[in-house]
Structure formats: structure tokens, C-alpha cells
């Protein structure tokens, strides 16, 4: 939980920055300190910090390359059940006491924000006390949103994710009930007349599997010709966005591409450069690229293509 001594340390730093000779630094420090020394901010910080502790490990697991979605789904179900229990048992008084003690230590005025009846986008739920106001307008909406996001992004896709039971290390424990449910989920993509035979052969193939854990991308080439229906299921499972978070590489790529020297490029060029940078392990045929640009009729590109062709002929 939030450490009071640590909070006092950062507040002291802001007080020192306010006395800085640089007017801009002092002004920014004053604005930030005014925002921080507010009971609404402190209560929000305590509530968010407490509940996000429970989602941290799940978030790290989902972002790992070798994520096991079956374990992640099971953990998500337990997490949602726990959050619902805290919602029903009204755990907020304990969090409010932490925020109250922190605000008292920092000499912050403990009061509720001004309530306006005609503001639909402001927390205006009726309340008789400060604690009730923050429980109704802050704690419960945040907890409901967190539960809804977990259910929408993970639990609603649980039927499709059950295809992970077809991985070599899991297929031996696949039950008939799970298999029938899996066939219903993917019935519009596979041939139900042949898929049972494919499953029997697939189980027999991995009956003496070692301790090695296979990933979805390992099963796609292994099922391409001999197991066409299972191949389709693995492709669908592999393309599900919940399987991995490696697409976040594009955000770290932008800071290397869109520098101050290249800040006026269009979206098409930026997308092309990003794809080339992310997939730089692919070999590019420069002559073929120049031919593509030459067909567009650009004069300079045509000259570059002619120069490149002449150099290639001399080398050969």
C-alpha cells in the first residue's frame, strides 16, 4: 500500500521546486502540488493502487510470449470472483481510512467535491457523507469497470481459447465434453465429419510426449497437410489478439522512426517504415522494389532503377 513517509518525501521535493529561481519550474511545481494535495486525488490514488495490485501478475502473464491462456483464464475467473466479493462486502471503508490518514498527515482538507445536479459527466450521486460520496461515485464505478473489462477481454473469449487444449502437452487431458464444446465453437470453420478422426490421430501422435512445451506456431506447420481441420483451429487461435502482446513493439519503433528530422511524413510512409523496421529480418529485393516504383512513372525512380540495373550487369 501507499507509504506515508514516501508521500511526505515527494511533497517536500515539490515545496523545494516551488522556490526554484526558474519561473517555469516553480509554476509547474505549484500546479502539480495543488493537484496532488487534494482529497479527491488521494482517494483515487489509494483505490486504484490497491486494486491494480491484483491485476499486475495477470497483466505480466498475458504479455509474455509463452503465455498459457488456459491458466490466464482460470486466474481471471478467480480474480473477477474476488473483486465481486469485495464489491458486495463493501471493502471501501478500509481504503477510505487509509486515504483519510494520508490526507490528515499532509494537512489536506477532507471534503467531497462540489455536486452539480445538471452535470451528467460529473460524479453527482446523492450521498450524506464524504465516505459515502467516494464509495458511490469513485470506488464502485471503478470496480465495476475493472470487472467488466476482465470479462469482455478475457472471459467472453474463453470458448475459443479452449482450443489450447489441442496443444501436444494438453491434448492427452482433453475430455469428450470439452471436445464437443470446442467443435460447436469452431463448427463454422471446420468439417465435423472428419475432425473426430483427426483428433484421434493427433492424440496418438503425441501419446509419448516429452516434457517439452509446444507453442501454437509450432503446431501450424505440423498440421498443415495431414490435419486440415486442426490446422484451421490453430490458425484462428494464433491470430486471436489475446494470445500475445508482442505487437507493442510498434510503439517502441515510432520513437526511432518519427524523429525531428522526419516529422512531416504521411501515414502511409510511416506505416511502411514501421513494417520494414519491425520485420527487418526479411530480405528485400531492391530491384523488385525499384520496378514497383518505376511503374508509377516517377522520373527519379526510373533513373535510379536504370543505374541499379547497370551496376548489376557489370557485377555479373
Burial (CB count within 10 angstroms: exposed 0-12, middle 13-18, buried 19+), residue 248: exposed
What are the tens digits of pLDDT across the range 170-217?
Answer: 888 888 888 888 888 888 888 888 899 999 999 898 888 777 778 778
The DSSP string of 80-111 is: HHHHHHHHHTT-HHHHHHHHHHHHHHTT----
Q: Across residues 37-44, what is the average pLDDT?
A: 87
Residue 226: alpha-carbon gap to chain centroid: 35
Render pLDDT for 207-259 as a digit per residue (tens, 0 to 9).
887 777 787 788 888 888 889 999 998 888 877 655 444 555 556 677 777 77
- CB count within 10 Å of CB 246 equals 11
pLDDT of amino acid 236: 84
Range 44-57 average pLDDT: 89
Closest by alpha carbon to 196, among 165, 227, 168, 158? 227
Model-level pTM? 0.57
Separation in Å, CA 137 to CA 20, 43, 112, 122, 130:
38, 11, 11, 9, 11
Q: Is the pLDDT of residue 298 over 60?
A: no
Instruction: Quick: pLDDT tens for 119-137.
Output: 666 666 677 788 888 888 8
Q: Read off the pLDDT band of 2 (50, 70, 90).
A: low
Q: Band of the pLDDT at 309, cuts 50, 70, 90?
A: low
Residue 147 has pLDDT above 70, yes or no: yes
Spacing of C-alpha 105 from chain mean position: 36
Residue 316 has pLDDT above 60, yes or no: no
Mean pLDDT of 72-78: 81
Per-residue pLDDT reduced to its tens digit, 258-284: 776 777 778 888 888 888 887 878 888
Average pLDDT over residues 281-289: 81
Phi/psi region, residue 107 (left: phi>0; alpha: psi -120 to 50; beta: rest), is left
**Residue 167 is placed in which grid cell?**
496443444
Q: Is 165's pLDDT higher than 80?
A: yes
What are the grid coordinates assigned to 215, written together? 507453442
Neighbours of 180 (CB within 10 A): 10
Assign 261 to helix, strand or coil.
helix
| Residue 122 zone, left/alpha/beta (φ > 0; ψ -120 to 50; rest) | beta
Q: Is the pLDDT higher at 305 or at 240?
A: 240
The pLDDT of 62-91, averaged and rounded, is: 79
> CA-to-CA distance for 151 and 130, rounded, in angstroms?
31
Better-scored residue on pLDDT, 140 or 124 = 140
Taking alpha carbons only, the member of 60, 74, 72, 65 closest to residue 215 is 65
51: number of Cβ within 10 Å: 17
Amino acid at each position: 500500500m501507499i507509504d506515508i513517509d514516501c508521500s511526505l518525501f515527494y511533497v517536500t521535493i515539490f515545496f523545494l521546486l516551488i522556490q526554484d529561481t526558474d519561473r517555469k519550474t516553480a509554476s509547474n511545481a505549484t500546479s502539480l502540488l495543488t493537484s496532488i494535495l487534494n482529497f479527491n486525488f488521494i482517494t483515487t490514488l489509494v483505490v486504484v493502487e490497491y486494486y491494480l495490485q491484483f491485476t499486475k501478475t495477470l497483466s505480466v502473464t498475458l504479455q509474455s510470449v509463452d503465455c498459457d491462456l488456459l491458466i490466464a483464464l482460470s486466474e481471471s475467473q478467480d480474480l473477477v470472483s474476488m473483486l465481486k466479493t469485495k464489491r458486495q462486502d463493501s471493502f471501501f471503508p478500509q481504503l477510505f481510512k487509509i486515504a483519510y490518514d494520508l490526507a490528515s498527515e499532509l494537512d489536506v482538507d477532507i471534503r467531497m467535491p462540489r455536486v452539480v445536479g445538471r452535470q451528467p459527466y460529473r460524479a453527482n450521486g446523492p450521498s450524506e457523507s464524504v465516505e459515502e460520496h467516494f464509495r458511490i461515485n469513485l470506488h464502485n464505478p471503478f470496480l465495476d469497470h475493472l470487472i467488466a473489462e476482465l470479462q469482455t477481454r478475457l472471459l467472453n473469449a474463453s470458448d475459443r481459447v479452449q482450443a489450447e487444449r489441442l496443444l501436444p502437452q494438453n491434448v492427452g487431458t482433453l475430455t469428450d465434453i470439452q471436445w464437443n464444446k470446442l467443435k460447436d465453437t469452431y463448427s463454422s470453420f471446420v468439417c465435423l465429419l472428419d475432425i473426430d478422426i483427426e483428433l484421434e490421430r493427433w492424440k496418438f501422435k503425441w501419446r509419448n510426449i516429452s516434457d517439452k512445451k509446444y507453442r501454437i506456431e509450432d503446431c501450424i506447420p505440423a498440421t498443415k497437410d495431414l490435419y486440415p481441420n486442426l490446422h484451421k483451429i490453430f490458425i484462428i487461435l494464433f491470430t486471436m489478439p489475446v494470445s500475445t502482446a508482442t505487437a507493442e513493439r510498434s510503439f517502441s519503433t515510432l520513437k526511432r522512426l518519427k524523429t525531428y528530422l522526419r516529422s512531416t511524413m504521411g501515414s502511409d510512409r510511416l506505416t511502411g517504415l514501421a513494417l520494414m523496421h519491425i520485420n527487418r529480418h526479411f530480405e528485400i529485393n531492391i530491384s523488385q522494389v525499384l520496378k514497383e516504383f518505376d511503374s508509377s512513372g516517377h522520373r527519379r525512380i526510373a533513373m535510379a532503377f536504370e543505374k541499379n540495373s547497370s551496376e548489376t550487369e557489370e557485377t555479373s
